[in-house]
């Protein structure tokens, strides 16, 4: 069985603060993929990143960075210098075999 846990239900920060969204996963599969999606207030689901289980290199894309640690089964997401437009629900997801399993999401509110 697969499981994704996003322990932080809601986070509120002030603009320009850095914020880290936590994601912990469980799977028995040795080959799997991890994803982050963003759901802004408008409601659509936007793909952010994909990471495979054999690649533990951290990734940076602009103000976004991801830290994958297989030893702790974590795939955390950091936003540097947050902006109001970053306000959204962020979902971590795990895919092994056919199924994509989502965490319950973290609501990030960035206040001006």
Asked if 90 interacts with other proteins (CB under 8 A), we say no
- Contacts to other proteins from residues 7-26, by CB under 8 A: none
68 binds other proteins (CB under 8 A): no
Question: Dihedrals φ, ψ of 48, to 5°?
Answer: -110, -50
Contact pick of 1, 28, 30, 44 for other proteins (by CB under 8 A): 44
Q: How far is the CB of 37 from other proteins (least distance, A)?
A: 8
- Shortest Cβ 69–other proteins spacing (Å): 20
Q: How many other β-carbons are positioned within 10 Å of the β-carbon of residue 2? A: 17
DSSP-assigned states of every residue in 21-84? E--EEE-S-SS-EEEEEEE-TT---EEEEEEETT----EEETTEEEEEEGGGTEEEEEESS--G
Residue ranges in contact with other proteins by CB under 8 A: 31-33, 35, 37, 39, 43-47, 50, 52, 89, 91, 95-100, 102, 104-105
């Amino acid at each position: 069985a697969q499981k994704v846990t996003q322990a932080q239900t809601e986070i509120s920060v002030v603009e320009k603060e850095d914020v880290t969204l936590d994601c912990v996963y469980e799977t028995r599969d040795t080959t799997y993929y991890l994803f982050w999606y963003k759901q802004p207030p408008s409601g659509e689901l936007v793909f952010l990143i994909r990471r495979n289980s054999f690649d533990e290199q951290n990734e940076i894309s602009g103000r976004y960075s991801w830290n994958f640690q297989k030893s702790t089964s974590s795939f955390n997401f950091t936003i540097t210098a947050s902006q109001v437009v970053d306000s959204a629900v962020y979902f971590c997801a795990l895919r092994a075999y056919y199924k994509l399993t989502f965490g319950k999401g973290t609501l990030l509110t960035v206040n001006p």
